[in-house]
Structure 1
Amino acid sequence: MSTRSLPLVFMNLGGEMLYILEQRLKSDDSCEGGAGKGRWTDADRTRVLNDVVATLFSKVFLDELFKPQQLYSHRTMKTVLSRLAHASIMRLNPASMDRLYELMVMAFKHQVLLCPRPRDVLLVSYNHLDSIRHMVQDSPGVLNQVHEAQRRVIETYSLLSSGELQLLRQTLLNFFEDYHIRVSLLLKSRIQNPNGRFVLDTRGPVPHGVEVPGLIRTFDCRGREVQRCEFPTGGDFTSPIREGSFDICGDRVLNLGRNM
């Protein structure tokens, strides 16, 4: 299990939480304890987002996150994110927080499953950080906190080997393993099956630097190839496309908060 997965989990789940909160705060009946007569003003919405982002990217919190450590349990993760969500004037009842956490986890899980290479998990994280930066662009102090968080992500993860990144991705997949929550938007888009599992495409080009699956090579103790055999892949894969011409953070990635 990777001891470097915790910062990415919090930043990506935090990004999904902010997407959803931003949309819900724009809804007239979304307020459970906010301003006025149950309606949020633009100033209220800005304050909530700024306060949550400022807490998520505070130096003390980031220092704790970036310490090498095991990934938290879902129960602990939900507790910490609930405190982050309540860092401002907004209040969510337990049922709303439970549903919010489920949406956050399923959205991030889908994005990780779409990553053709372990390193692409970093692209998903940068995507979330860019969106968060846009949310707080009018608050220089909070914006600087996001810049610092991105600097630390680049410094920590950009030099990891392919094996370390694969271990990180596997740690994330283990974290998501037992979560098969059905989401109406994902079901309508046919991204999810009725049992809550995602529909993954088994066609198209493999990532750059990767061979088309279907061949097993056997080597002797001196590293010489001594045998080859083929196996059915169950898909229709093709040779890799040119590196740099495909970005997994494009239209294929669905952010629940942006599509609600």
Structure 2
Amino acid sequence: MSVRTLPLVFINLGGEMLYILDQRLRAHNTSEDNSEKVMNDIVGTMFSKAFMDELLKPQQLYSHRTMKTVLTRLAHASIMRLNPASMERLYELMVMAFKYQVFLCPRPKDLLLISYNHIDAIREFVRDTPVVLNQVDETHRKIIEVFIIYSPLSAGEFQLLRQTLASDCGLRSVFCSGRRWTVTGRELRRTEFPYWRNYTQPIREGSFELYGNRVIRLGMNMYTVDHPEETHTSKASSVKPVDDSPNLLAKEELNLLARLMGTMKSENTSEAETGFRINLFTTDEEEKEAAAGGAEEPLFGVINIQAMQDQQATTELARIAGQFAEEEEKPENHSSSKGDDLLAMMDHL
């Protein structure tokens, strides 16, 4: 059953990633235009026809390393850039949320409803972009064809699929404390069942059509409700107001450094065409510094770079840039590892 697992894993993890990115972009007060562009670009890349056609082919489930690489490139498909620490925590949150949804799934076949809830929520992100919205609808139709119409799976096969998903996500998480998984990430399947005195009627089955009532809420966006206490990163009351006026000296020095490296295209580049970097989460080091009472200093400082335009520095930088160019011209050894085709395809999107 692992050859049928990859599309569900990718769609559900991608949906959880979009939930988190949307919530963090709003928490950082990112402009509406930038946020909309990030979501549209990521969804457009994720549901592109060539990429989905390759993904829906019967194939083995990717390793965590390959899946993380694919999702990292997907997260950077737009103008937003994440640091490695943010991407690491983002991936952990994605896997933990999806793993918990698989565990709470009432019926094995409801795994499809979890994916449908993710797709329905993604539609809302791109509802104002018809081209991307059509890509999402087309992918949803293909999922219905693969799992419902042409080769429907039995309840037993869906249960094997569920066990594959629950056991493959070998990530240590807070769920281990509830004895639901081992420390290695394997699911604990119990043989005893609780005895209930009162009969509880099972929930009705949700709709497996393109649009409809899914009944279950697993896979829906759980970050839509704001929780200020969860996004609190420092004691704002003790922070002194910081002068946010730009440092002209720093700008000129950075422009000089960029010209020396040969990467300066234009000094007056439109901000709408440039990317932006964002820290999704507070790192452990930042939390320790805040707890140590470092709030009296400015949160962000300007680094003054002493860049002198002399002949020796220019020659040395040109030599280093030439080495990078030579390394890029060397042919790469294409390994036969799983996921290389998808990674290469994402580079061309």
* Pairwise TM-score range, normalised by the shorter structure: 0.7 to 0.9
Question: 2:156 maps to which residue?
Answer: 163
Change (3 A) 1:198 1:79: same
Q: What is the 5 A alignment of 1:73-152?
A: 73-152=63-142
Contact 1:78 1:101 in 2 (8 A): yes
Contact 2:118-2:219 within 8 A present in 1 as well? no
Aligned ranges for residues 41-52 of structure 1 at < 5 Å? 41-52=31-42
Equivalence for 2:224: 258
Q: TM-score, length-normalised on structure 1?
A: 0.72
Larger displacement relative to structure 2 (94-103 or 159-168): 159-168
Letter aligned with residue 93 of structure 1: N
CA distance in 1, matches of 2:70, 2:48: 14
- The alpha carbon displacement at 1:253 in A equals 6.3
Is the contact between residue 121 and residue 221 of structure 2 (CA under 8 Å) also seen in structure 1? no
Mapped to 2, the partners of 1:243 and 1:181 lie a distance apart of 29
Q: What is the distance in 2 between the residues matched to 1:160 and 1:151?
A: 17
1:91 partner SS? strand
Verify: 1:180 aligned to 2:172, yes or no.
Answer: yes
Please list every run of at least 4 consecutive aligned residues from structure 1 whose deviation after the TM superposition is greater than 6 angstroms: 245-248
User: Which structure is larger by alpha-carbon Rg, 1 or 2?
Assistant: 2
**Distance in 2 separating the partners of 1:232 and 1:114:** 17
> How is 1:189-228 mapped onto 2 (pairs within 5 angstroms)?
192=175, 195=177
- Equivalent residue of 1:119, what SS? helix
SS where residue 180 of structure 1 aligns? coil
Q: Cα gap change, 1:18/1:240 in structure 2, threshold over 3 Å: closer, same or farther?
A: same
Question: Aligned pair in 2 of structure 1 residues 40, 255: CA closer, same or farther (>3 Å)?
Answer: closer
Q: Using the alignment, how far apart are the partners of 1:125 and 1:134 within structure 2? A: 15
Once residues 54 and 155 of structure 1 are traced to their aligned partners in structure 2, the CA distance between those partners, rounded to angstroms, is 21
Given residue 171 of structure 2, which amino acid in structure 1 is its aligned partner? Y
Structure holding more helix per residue: 2
| Aligned partners of 2:108 and 2:159 also within 8 Å | yes
Please state how far the C-alpha of 1:243 moved relative to its aligned partner: 5.8
- Relative to structure 1, the CA distance from residue 235 to residue 95 in structure 2 (aligned partners, 3 Å threshold; closer, same or farther) is farther
- The aligned counterpart of 2:322 is none
Counterpart AA for 1:16: E
The CA deviation string for residues 121-175 of structure 1, in whole angstroms up to 9 with x for no partner, is 0110000000000110000000000001100111111222222212211111121
3-state SS of 2:118 partner: helix
Pairwise CA distance, 1:242: 5.7
Shift of 1:56: 0.5
In the alignment, structure 1 residue 23 sits paired with structure 2 residue 23: yes
Any stretches of 5+ residues in structure 1 without a counterpart?
Answer: 29-38, 183-191, 200-230
**1:197 shift after superposition:** 5.2
Give the CA RMSD over aligned residues. 2.5
Letter in 2 for 1:179: L
Determine what percentage of the aligned residue pairs are the same residue.
Answer: 57
